[in-house]
Amino acid sequence: TPAATVDPDAPPAPNIDPATAASALTTAGGAGTKESLDSCGLLGTPEQGRLSEYERAVCRLVDRIRQGKIGSADPDAPAPPDPQATFTLNLDPLATEAIFAAKLIGTEERAKFLTEAEEARTDKQVGGGPSNSGSTSLVVKGGAPTVLGLAVENGALIQSRSGTTITYRGNPVGIFKFLQGKSWDESYLEDQDDPSTRLLRRFSFGVSFDTERGREPGVFTAGRQQISGYSLRYEFVNERDPRHPKYLPTWRSFLAEEGVALTQSVADAFKALTVRRGFTDAERAAGVKREIRFRNPVLQAWLEETRRAVAAAAPADVESVFKAQLDKFPAGDRLPDDVRDTLRGFTTVYGAYLQARERLLREVAKGRVITFEYTNTREVNAPDLSNLNFIAETGIFRGRADLTANASFSFYNSRPQGGVNRVRDFQFSGQLDVPFKVRQVGNFIFSFAGKYERVVDDAIALDGTVLPGTKGDIGVGQFKLTLPFLEGTGVKFPISFTVANRTELVREQEVRGSFGFTFDLDKVLARFRPF
Percent of the chain with pLDDT over 70: 66
Chain segment 506-518, per-residue pLDDT in tens: 666 777 778 888 9
Higher pLDDT, 153 or 340: 153
Write the CA distances from 343 to 25, 104, 111, 271, integer angstroms: 14, 8, 13, 11
Query: Per DSSP, which regions of 6-79 are E strands?
Result: none
**pLDDT surpasses 90 at 490:** no
Q: Is the torsion defined by CA of 214, 216, 217, 223 positive or negative?
A: negative
End-to-end alpha carbon distance in the chain: 26
Local structure of 25: helix, strand or coil: helix
Higher pLDDT, 389 or 88: 389
Radius of gyration (C-alpha) of the chain in whole angstroms = 29
Q: What would the pLDDT profile of 26-74 be if each residue is shown by its tens digit?
A: 555 544 434 443 567 666 666 665 555 566 667 777 777 777 776 644 4
Mean pLDDT of 159-175: 79
Is 175 within 8 Å of 148 (Cβ atoms)?
A: yes
Highest mean pLDDT of the ranges 158-162, 196-200, 231-235, 346-350: 231-235
pLDDT on residue 35: 40
Other CB atoms within 10 A of residue 120 CB: 18
Phi-psi region of 155 (alpha: psi -120 to 50; beta: other; left: phi over 0): left
Average pLDDT for the chain: 75
Closest CA to 312 of 57, 131, 84, 496: 84
With a threshold of 0.75, does the pTM exceed it? no
- What pLDDT score was predicted for residue 299? 80
Question: What is the band of 345 on the pLDDT scale with cuts at 50, 70, 90?
Answer: low
CA distances from 417 to 99, 182, 339, 422 (A): 72, 52, 70, 10
What distance in Å separates the CA atoms of residue 409 and residue 403, rounded to the nearest whole number? Answer: 21
Say if residue 448's pLDDT is above 80: yes
CA 529 from chain centre, in angstroms, equals: 10
Strands 510-520 and 148-155: antiparallel
Residue 422 has pLDDT above 60, yes or no: yes
Average pLDDT on 517-526 reads: 83
Indicate the pLDDT class of residue 402, thresholds 50, 70 and 90.
very high
Check residues 359 and 236 and name the one with the higher pLDDT.
236
Sign (positive or negative) of CA dihedral 433, 437, 441, 443 = positive
CA distance 211 to 222: 8
Percent over 90 (pLDDT), the chain: 16
| Count of other CB atoms within 10 angstroms of residue 179 | 9
Q: Do residues 130 and 491 touch, judged by C-beta distance below 8 A?
A: no
Q: Confidence band (pLDDT; 50, 70, 90) for 447?
A: very high
Q: What is the mean pLDDT of residues 325-335?
A: 73
Higher pLDDT, 484 or 249: 484
In the beta sheet, which residues pair with residue 438? 442
Task: State the CB neighbour count (10 A cutoff) for residue 106.
Answer: 26
- Determine the pLDDT at residue 445: 93
Residues 267 and 42: their CA atoms lie apart, in Å, by 28
User: How confident is the model at residue 3, as a pLDDT?
Assistant: 36
CA 454 from chain centre, in angstroms, equals 38
473 strand-pairing partners = 454
d(CA 224, CA 351): 56
Spatial separation of the C-alpha atoms in residues 366 and 394, rounded to whole Å: 6
Query: In terms of residues, how long is the chain?
Result: 531
Contacts 24+ apart (CB under 8 A), 80-88: 83/310, 83/311, 84/307, 84/308, 84/311, 86/289, 87/307, 87/310, 87/311, 88/289, 88/290, 88/291, 88/292, 88/307
Strand partners, 334: none
Q: Does residue 458 carry a pLDDT above 70?
A: yes
Confidence of residue 528 (pLDDT cuts 50, 70, 90): low
* Confidence tier at 403 by pLDDT (50, 70, 90): very high
pLDDT on residue 262: 58
pLDDT at residue 161 tops 60: no
Q: In the predicted model, is pLDDT for residue 492 greater than 80?
A: yes
Query: Could you tell me whether strands 274-276 and 163-170 are parallel, antiparallel, or unpaired per DSSP bridges?
Result: unpaired
- 445 vs 118: which has the higher pLDDT: 445
3-state secondary structure of 181: coil
Best mean pLDDT range from 360-364, 429-433, 490-494: 429-433
Pick from 152-161, 175-184, 386-395, 466-475: least confident: 152-161
Tell me the average pLDDT across 279-307. Answer: 73
Q: Which long-range contacts (CB under 8 A, 24 or more apart) does 356-363 make?
A: 356/254, 356/257, 356/258, 357/109, 357/113, 357/254, 360/113, 360/247, 360/250, 360/251, 360/254, 361/113, 361/116, 361/117, 361/120, 361/399, 362/398, 362/399, 362/400, 363/247, 363/250, 363/399
Is the four-CA dihedral 85, 91, 95, 98 of positive or negative sign? positive
pLDDT given at position 449: 94
Q: Which pLDDT value is given to residue 62?
A: 79
Q: Identify the CA nearest to 105 among candidates 322, 257, 267.
A: 267
The answer, yes or no, to whether residue 349 has pLDDT greater than 60, is no
Q: How far is Cα 422 from Cα 386, in angstroms, rounded to an integer?
A: 10
pLDDT at 297: 83
What is the rounded CA–CA span in Å between residue 318 and residue 14? 26
pLDDT of residue 237: 92
pLDDT in tens, 62-107: 777 777 776 644 445 444 444 444 445 554 455 566 666 666 666 6
